[in-house]
């Protein structure tokens, strides 16, 4: 494992410290992404946790703020959302997240009862504010394409498990909700309308099933980047089918792909178990990207070879790209 790498997509929602101590062993740092997930604490609470951890472990953690949709369909919504963004950035956030509840929450509709998507014109002042103030937007729109497939058609076991446990986000059983294609279109519409918007399409732009589709977005939207958080098993699934094609993708877009795990630290695991979970993921992911060993993944049957990426690309994937995108300092003691 390279020293001083960055896990640039986690959710550190507790003040437990074992995970940070494990990161110190690896020389690792975190980007924690605050989100308006219903089972998370509110944005202010998430920020308070991060700020305490930042005080205890200087330069070890950066974070992304967000905004909620309270008072939607009223005049109070936009001033509140802009205030949340402004306050979050003033408190040290390095960017703003827009989340999948837009387009997937049955309670988030317009006055006519239609689902609201992120290309709704009422979000335009948000995007314009971010551009004017040179603030990064990170986006999780839609879900893996598996979300719209029957369980026995899904490509990886982790998606079957997730959508069984979170039926509120399982779109195959909700034909009246926006389609997968509509979510991708809404995101792309925004990026076409605002080409100066600095954007990270989280989770491989939710196009994890086909890296060619990810490449199309990176080509069309030169101000965009992506991360692999929570989607590495999909990359491995494609490597099992065509390793060289996957490897070529990481070489071609080496300056625009960021490593992350998407581990949620919500107190459901014991401190030591969580720290070991991070450790095991980091080592396993490093083995996949850095060696040509024959590996297996718990999410699907079959084996695949690691990508054996050159050292310069590994440094970009695991550290340099996150430094440039999220403003991490060069070193962390």
pLDDT for the residue numbered 31: 98
How far apart are alpha carbons 98 and 129 in whole angstroms?
14
pLDDT for the residue numbered 333: 56
pLDDT for the residue numbered 39: 81
Burial class (CB in 10 A: 0-12, 13-18, 19+), 95: buried
Query: Chain centroid to CA 252: how far?
Result: 21
How far apart are alpha carbons 206 and 320 in whole angstroms?
23
pLDDT for the residue numbered 318: 98
pLDDT for the residue numbered 174: 95
pLDDT for the residue numbered 203: 98
How far apart are alpha carbons 216 and 221 in whole angstroms?
8
Residues ≥6 apart with Cβ < 8 Å to 273: none
The dihedral built from the CA positions of residue 255, 259, 262 and 267, taken in this order, carries a sign that is negative
pLDDT for the residue numbered 331: 65
Whole-angstrom CA distances from 49 to 4, 259, 266 are 23, 23, 11
Q: Shortest CA distance to 326 belongs to which of 96, 139, 67, 49?
A: 96
Helix (H, G, I), strand (E, B) or coil at 333: coil
pLDDT for the residue numbered 35: 94
What does the longest C-alpha to C-alpha distance in the chain come to? 57
Quote the tokens at residue 186: 């809404």
Burial class (CB in 10 A: 0-12, 13-18, 19+), 285: buried
For 158-206, what is each residue's pLDDT tens digit? Answer: 999 999 998 988 999 999 999 999 999 999 999 999 999 999 999 999 9
289 and 314 Cβ atoms separated by less than 8 Å: yes
Is the pLDDT score of 218 beyond 70?
Answer: yes
Helix (H, G, I), strand (E, B) or coil at 327: coil
Mean pLDDT of 279-296: 98
Query: Confidence class of residue 332 from pLDDT cuts 50, 70 and 90?
Result: low
Whole-number mean pLDDT of the chain?
96
The CATH superfamily assigned to 6-326 is Metal-dependent hydrolases (3.20.20.140)
pLDDT for the residue numbered 295: 98
Residues ≥6 apart with Cβ < 8 Å to 120: 110
* Comparison of pLDDT for 295 and 162, the residue scoring more: 295
For 96-152, what is each residue's pLDDT tens digit? Answer: 999 999 999 998 999 999 999 999 999 999 999 999 999 999 999 999 999 999 999
Q: Are strands 199-201 and 257-258 parallel, antiparallel or unpaired?
A: unpaired
Residue located via tokens 């991360």: 227
317 and 289 Cβ atoms separated by less than 8 Å: yes
Rounded to the nearest 5°, which phi and psi values hold at 105?
-95, 120
Taking the complete model, does pTM exceed 0.85, yes or no? yes
For 30-81, what is each residue's pLDDT tens digit? Answer: 999 999 888 888 999 999 999 999 999 999 999 999 999 999 999 999 999 9
Where are the alpha helices (H) located in 91-198, listed in sequence order?
124-132, 157-165, 180-193
Query: Confidence class of residue 309 from pLDDT cuts 50, 70 and 90?
Result: very high
- Paired residues of 265 in beta bridges: 12
């Amino acid at each position: 494992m390279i020293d001083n790498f960055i896990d640039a997509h986690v959710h550190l929602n507790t003040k437990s410290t074992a995970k940070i101590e494990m990161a110190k062993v690896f020389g690792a740092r975190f980007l924690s992404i605050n989100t308006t997930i219903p089972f998370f604490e509110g944005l202010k609470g998430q920020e308070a946790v991060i700020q305490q951890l930042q005080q205890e472990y200087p330069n070890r953690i950066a974070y992304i703020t967000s905004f909620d949709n309270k008072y939607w369909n009223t005049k109070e919504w936009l001033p509140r959302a802009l205030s949340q963004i402004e306050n979050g950035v003033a408190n040290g956030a390095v960017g703003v997240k827009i989340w999948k509840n837009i387009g997937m929450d049955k309670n988030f509709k317009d006055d006519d009862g239609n689902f609201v998507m992120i290309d709704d014109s009422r979000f335009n002042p948000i995007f314009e504010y971010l551009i004017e103030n040179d603030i990064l937007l990170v986006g999780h729109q839609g879900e893996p394409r598996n979300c719209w497939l029957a369980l026995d058609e899904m490509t990886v076991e982790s998606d079957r498990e997730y959508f069984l446990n979170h039926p509120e986000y399982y779109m195959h059983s909700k034909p009246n909700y926006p389609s997968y294609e509509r979510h991708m279109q809404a995101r792309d519409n925004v990026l076409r309308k605002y080409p100066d918007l600095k954007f990270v399409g989280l989770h491989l732009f939710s196009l994890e099933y086909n890296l060619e589709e990810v490449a199309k977005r990176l080509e069309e939207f030169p101000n965009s980047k992506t991360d692999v958080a929570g989607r590495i098993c999909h990359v491995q699934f494609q490597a099992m089918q065509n390793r060289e094609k996957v490897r070529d993708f990481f070489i071609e877009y080496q300056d625009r792909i960021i490593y992350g795990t998407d581990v949620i630290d919500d107190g459901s695991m014991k401190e030591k178990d969580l720290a070991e979970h991070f450790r095991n993921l980091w080592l396993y992911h490093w083995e996949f990207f850095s060696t040509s060993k024959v590996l297996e993944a718990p999410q699907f049957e079959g084996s695949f070879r690691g990508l054996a990426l050159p050292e310069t690309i590994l440094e970009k994937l695991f550290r340099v790209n996150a430094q440039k995108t999220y403003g991490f300092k060069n070193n962390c003691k």
